[in-house]
C-alpha cells in the first residue's frame, strides 16, 4: 500500500480544500485553553492590556521628560516583557515597503518559493521553510516562514534573500539598519533604568560588531479548525530583543498572571519582546514572557520578526555582577547563547 505524502507546506495543505486538519497539527488538550475565535478574543475587555510605550521621549534633551519615559519602559519590561512601541522613528513608507516585499514573496506560487527552501536536516535554517516537530509531543505548527540573517551588513548572504520582488533586498536592508539603531536606543534606556552605564547592556550582548539581527517572515494560512491548531506554540524568545510588525490580523497571545491574554492590534506600532538574554543579564528584573500565536479561518496572518541575538559562543550570559549583591542571588547559571538554546531544546523534549 502506498502512503500518501502530505503537502510539505502548510500553505499547500490549507489551499487543498481540507475541512479537518491532520492529527499532527492538533494540539494537546492542555494547550486548548483560550483558543476560541481570535477576533472575539481580541475584543474581550478583561482589564489586561499590553502597555504602549512612546519611544520619542526616551532620548529627549529634557531630563525630566526622558526620565519619565525611561521609567515607563522599565515598568513595561518588568511587568509584561512585551509592549507596543509608537513614535519609534522609522518612516511609515519604509514599514510599508517591508510589508509589501514580504506579502509579494508569499504570493508567489509554492514551486517558486521552493527555490529558496532551507535544509533543516543539515542545520541550515536560512531560507523558506516550515516548522518541523522538535518536541516530544510531535505536534506541528500551522505556519510557513522565510528566515535569514539581516545585520550586520558584512555577515549577510544575499544569495539566499528573495530576488522577487525587486525591492525586497533594498527595503529589508534599510529596515534592518534602522532597527539596529532602535535596538541601541532601547538597550541604552533599559541599562539606565537598572542604574547601569548607558552602553552596558548593548556591550554585554555583543555591541555594534557582534549583535546579530535575524529576520523571519511568519506566514499563517487560513485554518479550517483554528480552535485545534497553533501558528506557533507557547515559547519565550531566546533573543535579547525581538521587534515584530504584522498585517493587523490578531493572533499574538501572552501568558500573563496565569491566563492567556490576546494582544490588541495597535496601528502604526511595533511589538517588542524582551528576550531570555536580557532576562538573564538583568537577573530576572526584566521579563521574557511566554507567548504563542493563534490562527483563524478567515484571514491569512503575516508577521515580520527581527530577533536581536548575541553571538553564539563568544559571550557567556549570566546575571550582571552589579545586579547580584547582598541578599540577591544569581538566578541563572552561566551559559553561552548556544548553550542556552540547547538547554531550552533539551528541556522541551523532556517535558511530558
User: Is 216 labeled as catalytic in the residue annotation?
Assistant: yes
* Contact (Cβ atoms closer than 8 angstroms) between residue 133 and residue 139: yes
Rounded Cα distance, 142 and 9, in Å = 9
Q: Which three cell numbers stand for residue 88?
A: 519609534
Rounded Cα distance, 190 and 278, in Å = 9
User: Is 235 labeled as catalytic in the residue annotation?
Assistant: yes
Q: Catalytic one among 74, 185, 222, 235? A: 235
* Contact (Cβ atoms closer than 8 angstroms) between residue 291 and residue 236: yes
CB burial of 287-309 (b: ≥16 within 10 Å; e: otherwise) equals bbbebbbbbbeebbbbbbbbbbb
3-class state of residue 153 by DSSP: helix
* Contact (Cβ atoms closer than 8 angstroms) between residue 318 and residue 334: yes
Helix (H) / strand (E) element for 307: namely strand 301-309
Cα 295 vs. chain centroid, distance in angstroms? 16
User: Is 291 labeled as catalytic in the residue annotation?
Assistant: yes
> Is the Cα dihedral 351, 142, 76, 147 positive or negative?
positive
Cite the DSSP H helix spans in the chain. Answer: 10-14, 38-43, 63-79, 92-107, 110-113, 168-193, 200-204, 207-210, 276-281, 337-350
* Contact (Cβ atoms closer than 8 angstroms) between residue 118 and residue 124: yes
Rounded Cα distance, 197 and 191, in Å = 6
Q: Catalytic one among 84, 131, 144, 237? A: 237
User: Is 340 labeled as catalytic in the residue annotation?
Assistant: no
Q: Are strands 52-54 and 82-86 parallel, antiparallel or unpaired?
A: parallel
Q: Catalytic one among 148, 273, 291, 340? A: 291
Rounded Cα distance, 13 and 174, in Å = 34
Q: Catalytic one among 99, 148, 216, 246? A: 216
> Is the Cα dihedral 331, 333, 337, 342 positive or negative?
negative
Annotated catalytic sites, by residue? 216, 235, 237, 291
Amino acid at each position: 500500500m502506498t502512503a500518501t505524502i502530505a503537502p510539505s507546506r502548510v500553505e499547500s495543505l490549507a489551499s487543498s480544500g481540507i475541512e479537518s486538519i491532520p492529527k499532527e497539527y492538533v494540539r494537546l488538550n492542555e494547550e486548548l485553553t483560550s483558543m476560541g475565535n481570535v477576533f472575539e478574543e481580541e475584543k474581550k475587555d478583561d482589564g489586561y492590556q499590553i502597555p504602549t510605550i512612546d519611544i520619542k521621549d526616551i532620548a529627549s534633551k529634557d531630563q525630566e521628560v526622558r526620565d519619565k519615559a525611561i521609567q515607563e519602559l522599565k515598568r513595561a519590561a518588568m511587568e509584561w516583557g512585551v509592549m507596543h512601541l509608537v513614535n519609534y522613528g522609522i518612516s511609515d513608507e519604509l514599514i510599508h515597503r517591508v510589508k509589501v516585499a514580504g506579502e509579494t514573496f508569499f504570493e508567489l506560487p509554492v514551486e517558486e518559493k521552493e527555490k529558496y527552501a532551507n535544509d533543516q536536516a543539515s542545520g541550515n535554517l536560512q531560507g523558506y521553510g516550515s516548522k518541523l516537530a522538535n518536541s516530544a509531543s510531535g505536534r506541528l505548527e500551522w505556519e510557513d516562514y522565510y528566515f535569514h540573517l539581516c545585520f550586520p551588513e558584512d555577515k549577510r548572504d544575499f544569495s539566499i534573500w528573495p530576488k522577487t520582488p525587486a525591492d525586497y533586498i533594498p527595503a529589508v536592508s534599510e529596515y534592518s539598519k534602522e532597527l539596529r539603531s532602535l535596538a541601541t536606543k532601547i538597550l541604552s534606556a533599559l541599562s539606565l533604568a537598572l542604574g547601569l552605564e548607558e552602553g552596558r547592556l548593548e556591550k554585554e550582548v555583543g555591541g555594534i560588531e557582534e549583535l546579530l539581527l535575524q529576520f523571519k517572515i511568519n506566514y499563517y494560512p487560513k485554518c479550517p479548525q483554528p480552535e485545534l491548531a497553533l501558528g506557533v506554540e507557547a515559547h519565550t524568545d531566546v533573543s535579547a530583543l525581538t521587534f515584530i510588525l504584522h498585517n493587523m490580523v490578531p493572533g499574538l497571545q501572552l501568558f500573563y498572571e496565569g491566563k492567556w491574554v490576546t494582544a490588541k492590534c495597535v496601528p502604526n506600532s511595533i511589538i517588542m519582546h524582551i528576550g531570555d538574554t536580557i532576562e538573564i543579564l538583568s537577573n530576572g528584573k526584566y521579563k521574557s514572557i511566554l507567548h504563542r500565536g493563534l490562527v483563524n479561518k478567515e484571514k491569512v496572518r503575516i508577521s515580520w520578526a527581527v530577533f536581536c541575538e548575541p553571538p553564539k559562543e563568544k559571550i557567556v550570559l549570566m546575571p550582571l555582577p552589579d545586579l547580584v549583591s547582598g541578599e540577591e542571588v544569581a538566578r541563572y547559571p552561566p551559559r553561552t547563547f548556544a548553550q542556552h538554546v540547547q538547554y531550552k531544546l533539551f528541556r522541551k523534549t523532556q517535558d511530558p
